[in-house]
Structure 1
C-alpha cells in the first residue's frame, strides 16, 4: 500500500476565520511531533470560494499512520466548529503531491449515488483529468477513491492560477464530461486554494 495522504476540511470558528494564520499553531504542533507521527509534509489554506473553511493536508510516510495526539486534536478543535477528513492512498504512478505544490490547488470531493456504476464514473473522471492535463495552465491532476468509503472519491489538480482553471471549465470538452459526471454524484464539494506548506 502507498503512504497515506489525509485531507481535513474544517469549518473555522469566528476567531480563526478572522485570522487564519492562527491555525499555524496546529501546524507547528504536528511539526514538532513529525517523526513519531510519520508526517512528511503539511499543506493548508483557505479556499477562494469560502473564507469560513480551511483545508489541511497531511502527507504521511506510512500506509498506517498513528492517530494525532490529544494536544493536537484539542488545538484543532480550538480553531474549528466541525471537522471532516478523508484518507487517500495515491499510487506512486499518480501521486497527489505535485498538485499540492502549484500556485493554485483544486480539491474536489465526490460521493457517488447508489445507482452509479463505479467503473463508468472512473472512466469519466479519467477523461476529465486527461482533458485538464491537455489544457494550458493545468500542471498536474490525479484522483483516488477514499480509504473510508469505496463510493467517495477525491480529485486534486494543480493550476497556474484561477484564470487557467476558469478557462478550462468554459470549454465544450469540460462541459460534456461534467454533464455526465455531476448526475452520478450524490454529494460534491470543490475548493481552490493557494496552499502554504511545511515539512
Structure 2
C-alpha cells in the first residue's frame, strides 16, 4: 500500500442507516432484524437471536452492549424463541420486555441493539484491522483522526494511540524510553459542545482523538 499523509475514520452507523426503516438498525421501526452493513453478508441479527446458545447471547449482551442484566436478557431471548422465532423489532421488544427497567426503555433497547449490531458486523475486529493497517501505511508525521461513539471503540483507539497495542501497555527500551509508534495530539478526547448537541443530538456520544505517526 502507498504511504498516506493522514486518515479520518468516522466510526459506527450513519444517520442514513438509522433512518432507513427496513435495515433493522433502529428501534423506531417494526421491521426485520437485519442490521447488516454489508447486505451480501450472511448472518443477520435475527439469525443470532434464534441460533446462538444462551451463554453466547449473554456474552455479546454483556461485552458489546454492557447490559447490566445480560444473563436474564439472554434467558428471556433463549426461551421466548422456543415459542416463536424472533424476526422483527417488535418480536424482540416483546421477548425482553420483562428485563427492561421502567423509565429506561430507550437506553436499554439501544444497548441491546448495539450489541447485536457489533456482533453482526464484527465491528471491533474491523476496527482493529483498520488501526493496525494505519501503523503500516501512515507516513512519519502523518495523522490518524478517529471519531468513536461508544466506550468499546474509544478504548481500542485510545490504547493504540497511546501504546501501539490494544491492551494499552507501553513498551520501553533498555533505557526506559517509550517505544509507542504515535504521539498523542489529544491527551483527552474532543467532545461536542452543548450547542452542537442541541443542533445534532446524535453527536452527544462522539469522541474525537488525534495522533501523529512518529
Give the TM-score, by structure 2 length: 0.29
The answer to which structure has the higher helix fraction is 2
Rg larger for: 2
The answer to which structure, 1 or 2, has the higher relative contact order (CA under 8 A, 6+ apart) is 1
